Amino acid sequence: MGHSPSRHNACGGGGGDGESPPSPLPSRFERFRRRLRLRHRDRAGRPGGDAHASESGTGRAIAVDEFAGIARIRIVKADMQFKDKFIACLSLGERTYRTEKSDNTSTPVWNSEKKVVVETNGPHIARISVFETNRFSKNTLVGYCEVDLFELLTKDLDEHSEVLSLLDPSSSATIVGSISISCYIEDPVETEQSFARRVLAIVDYNEDGELSLSEFSDLMKAFGNKLAVAKIEELFRQADKNGDGIVDMDELAALLANQQEKEPLISNCPVCGEILGKHDKINDMIHMTLCFDEGTGNQIMTGGFLTDKQASYGWMFKLSEWAHFSSYDVGLHSGSTASHILVFDRRTKRLVEEVIDGKIVLSMRALYQSKVGLTLIDTGVKDLLKNLSEKQGKKMSSPESAKDIPKFLELFKDQINLDEVKDPLESFKTFNEFFVRQLKPGARPIACYEQDTIATCAADSRLMTFSSVDESTRLWIKGRKFSIEGLLGKDVHSDALCNGSLVIFRLAPQDYHRFHVPVSGTLEKFVEIPGCLYTVNPIAVNSKYCNVFTENKRVVSIISTSEFGKVAFVAIGATMVGSIEFLKEEGDYVHKGDEFGYFAFGGSTVICVFEKDAIEFDADLLANSARSLETLVSVGMRLGVSTRNRDLQPQELEKCSLE
């Protein structure tokens, strides 16, 4: 009995039973606001639930001229080739959402919807992935498709429905099923008016489609605007055209929208309580639209995921994440110590996860992220890694190694596109022949091919760009005593290069392993520098106990150009890399995009060093690198522009696409 008043007060003083001290009942607008907030917190607090602060996927204010609308994407159903329990994931930019699990069927039905913000220069290629869910820890990707939301914007339809082919993850030419989706794009005015109608519908307590003065009064109080509260009757009369004391929903919604143009009425989000007006009206409207849909349970896809792989993981992964055995994040911490490495796909503008075996992650962390590991490295592990790599290189060049190709393709089935490969799979007699495979002509178009003032990406890789060595060591390279002098060696380095900028192309085992020339010029020299064979994985690069780039085996070449001065091209070997082969010789003139050489089996890295103030890297690459986030790029994509020869006018540069 002694605890009865405490429970009563904790519940907000709701209805007395005659035995407890009386408390005033909450008003209707307080109950309305509490109901929305409780629903919002409930969804945000669940595993996979996301608070609105990250729901828009922008993390910043959206400029008025950048806001294209809010897309309502509904995943309806699919037609698969076999029976199972399936989930579907929707990925756009740095946000992923997932449906509930379907019944055990070959024709799963989800009818799941999500609203996402579309920006004119933001991510617009939405990926829909379908997973079978018959595994405890990691579900299997069985098909995917991509939807260009900008194409839907140009279609004059109230709602666009399509049946799309689901593509095999390992071959975009193979269809494994189909999926039905619908998409509808709201313009800003429509979004604002529809939001007003949804809010007013909740205040319409008797659900008769009309609002009384008292109901409208509750709404103004929930919006937290004292000035609006003082003008309630005046605002209500503006909408009550016939003076009968009641207005219909459309009249009141129009009044609210018009008044927002003149003098904002909403000071606080009625769902999460966040103070509005920090940016502008359009951002407030976006916030409330998405927040309202989540808080009222109208959006039935679960959010809060960064990639479709994270969204597909089962309960064992969630348990390990809860117990801090693994983490899922963007940036340096994720790249250096976590089990999951996330990179930003430049083409689709979304986050993707790099596949890496969990046992390998644990061994690398033990070796490269601890003092014990450093001791092992100093007492013989260097020689062990070198001998292991040499033996593995010989093994991968033997005829018996060809049987490993199918297993390798299965491991990376959604990251290797066999349709791009020049030669048929059966033509590869060893694993290394497949590993150094060539691509079909035109598979990697070279950006601005005739314009030598534009530098391009040298490899299919994960890229980091830095305007100075200080930036690189502050944000990414944590190895001891890293310097350009140490990287290039005493026979190559110059003052111009030592104070210059650099770009790091990290190749993973699943990548196309031929590297190309990033700039046009003459090859002055090649210098081979012997060394170790540490892994080039971020776990080692971000370790303070070793210096991967200046201690590993590498070949330095100098390209003399008229647009960028001298450019150092450094091909770095790594664990399991059998050899570094070049296809050009000293004195050759090379054009950007030309095939330069290749790495045999294993991960590896190319670093290009530019003279000080010789290149202006593309803004998106610098922005990602400033977040310690690698950018997934392909050979030939635009890297940056020469700052020495400004022959191109700004409008000409804009015509030169990133790819």
Which positions are annotated as active-site residues?
A: 460, 516, 604
| CA 616 – CA 149 distance, rounded (Å) | 31
Residue 565's identity, in one-letter code, is: G
Strand pairing report for 631-633 and 341-345: parallel
Q: Are strands 246-248 and 86-92 parallel, antiparallel or unpaired?
A: unpaired
E-assigned strand segments in 272-382: 302-305, 341-345, 350-354
State how far the alpha carbon of 10 is from the alpha carbons of 21, 31, 120, 208, 271, in Å. 13, 15, 47, 34, 21
For every residue of 353-384, which 3-state class applies, written as one string? EECCCHHHHHHHHHHHCCHHHHHHHHHHHHHH
Yes or no: say if 349 and 122 are a contact pair by the CB < 8 Å rule. yes
Token pair 């390992």: residue: 170
Look at residues 286, 293, 288 and name the one whose alpha carbon lies nearest to residue 113: 293
In 3D space, the residue among 139, 123, 132, 127 whose CA is nearest the CA of residue 164 turns out to be 127
Note whether 447 and 637 are within 8 A (CB): yes
The angle, 0 to 180 degrees and rounded to 10, between the axes of the packed helices 28-45 and 188-203 is 120
Burial of 180 (0-12, 13-18, 19+ CB in 10 A): middle
- How many residues are listed for the chain in this entry? 659
CA atoms within 13 A on the CB side of 526: 15
| CA dist., res. 148 & res. 118, Å (int) | 11
Q: How far apart are CA 598 and CA 595, in angstroms?
A: 9
Q: Which helix (H) or strand (E) holds 147?
A: strand 140-148
* Cβ atoms of residues 87 and 308 within 8 Å: no
Instruction: Give the sign of the dihedral formed by CA 219, CA 223, CA 224, CA 226.
Output: negative
Please answer whether residues 631 and 621 qualify as being in contact, where contact means their C-beta atoms are separated by less than 8 angstroms.
Answer: yes
DSSP string of 516-542, one letter each residue: E-SS-EEEEEEEEE--B----SHHHHT
Dihedral angle over CA of 549, 551, 557, 560, nearest 10: 60
